Structure 1
Amino acid sequence: MSYASLEDLIERASAVEILQVADRDQDGVADPSVIEAALAHADNTVNGYVRVRYALPFAAVPDLVRTWAVSIARYFLHADGAPDYVVRDWKEAIAELKDVSAGRMQLTAAENQPEPQSSPDGRISVVGPEPVFTSENLKGWL
């Protein structure tokens, strides 16, 4: 299951734009193989970043993931060079995906809670903010 669809691309970019960039054989219809390749590229890109923090596949695709997939697929469809606004959307999607991967941004869907990661020696580490109260900063208070 792809994170985005042809309908999502058309909703974001318009049927005219998608036809211009995906009708490679000039028959007046967006080529299914071109659309599928762009959506698969977007899925693989998203998965590469989010699998660091989330279990895949998603039980339900978060709206933000769909937005990123559309931006990435749209950029990929512009094989001969994307307009500035398409590049801007793509760069924003990649930046946010990097934030997810680094733990600076979380997806809000309850089904997508981060999985604890274990180390080779079997210990489990939890990714999160630094502790507020430590024995070091509580010296003199205990």
Structure 2
Amino acid sequence: MTYASLADLTERAGDAEIRQVADRDRDGTPDPEVIAAALEDADNTVNGYVGAKYALPLSSVPAVVVTWAVSIARYILHRNGAPDHVREDYKDAIAALKDVSRGLIALPVEVGEIPPTTVNGTVMSAHPDPVFTPEKLRGW
């Protein structure tokens, strides 16, 4: 299941725009495989950022995630150059997703969807040799 649907795309962009960018065989209807590919690419992008802080797949999809997925899929569908407003929506979605991955934006999800924080590994440090040692200070 994708985060967004054809209905979500059509609601945001309008039927005419979606037909224009997704009707590759020119039969008057958006091609299902074109829509599916754009929505899958959008999901992969969203998951790449959201997966840094949340367990995937999300069992409940917040409305804001649908909005981001629609903006990304719409941008992808404009393969010959997106209008400025579509490009700006895409950039805003990516910026928000980056904030999610950094923990600056929290998604309204169930507690079980947030993976526990685990720390693995070893703390390592490197530093120069000490300048003031007892041997160097002897005699002062």
Question: What's 2:130 paired with?
Answer: none
In structure 1, how many angstroms separate the alpha carbons of the residues matched to 2:11 and 2:112? Answer: 26
- Aligned to 1:117, the other structure's residue is in SS state coil
Q: Which runs of 5+ in 1 are unaligned?
A: 122-142
In structure 1, how many angstroms separate the alpha carbons of the residues matched to 2:13 and 2:28? Answer: 17
Q: CA deviation at 1:111?
A: 4.8
Q: TM-score, normalized by length of structure 1?
A: 0.82
Q: Deviations over 1:48-104 (max 9, x none)?
A: 000010011111111010000000000000000000000000000000000000011
Contact 2:59 2:113 (C-alpha < 8 Å) held by counterparts: no
In structure 1, how many angstroms separate the alpha carbons of the residues matched to 2:88 and 2:19? Answer: 21
Q: CA RMSD in A?
A: 1.5
Question: What's 1:55 paired with?
Answer: 55
In structure 2, how many angstroms separate the alpha carbons of the residues matched to 1:36 and 1:49? Answer: 20
Q: CA deviation at 1:118?
A: 1.7
TM superposition outliers: structure 1 runs of 4+ over 2 Å: 109-114
Contact 1:60 1:111 (C-alpha < 8 Å) held by counterparts: no
Question: What's 1:75 paired with?
Answer: 75
Give the AA of the match of 2:38.
A
Matching of residue 4 in structure 1 with residue 4 in structure 2: yes
Question: What's 2:133 paired with?
Answer: none
In structure 1, how many angstroms separate the alpha carbons of the residues matched to 2:112 and 2:39? Answer: 21
Question: What's 2:87 paired with?
Answer: 87
Q: What is the aligned-residue identity percentage?
A: 60
Q: Give the 5 Å matches for 1:1-142.
A: 1-111=1-111, 113-121=113-121
Q: Which runs of 5+ in 2 are unaligned?
A: 122-140
Contact 2:58 2:113 (C-alpha < 8 Å) held by counterparts: no
In structure 2, how many angstroms separate the alpha carbons of the residues matched to 1:59 and 1:41? Answer: 19
Q: CA deviation at 1:112?
A: 6.1
Give the AA of the match of 1:74.
R
CA separation of 1:30 and 1:112: change in aligned 2, threshold 3 A: farther
Aligned length: 122
Q: TM-score, normalized by length of structure 2?
A: 0.83
In structure 1, how many angstroms separate the alpha carbons of the residues matched to 2:56 and 2:63? Answer: 16
Flag the structure with larger Rg. 2
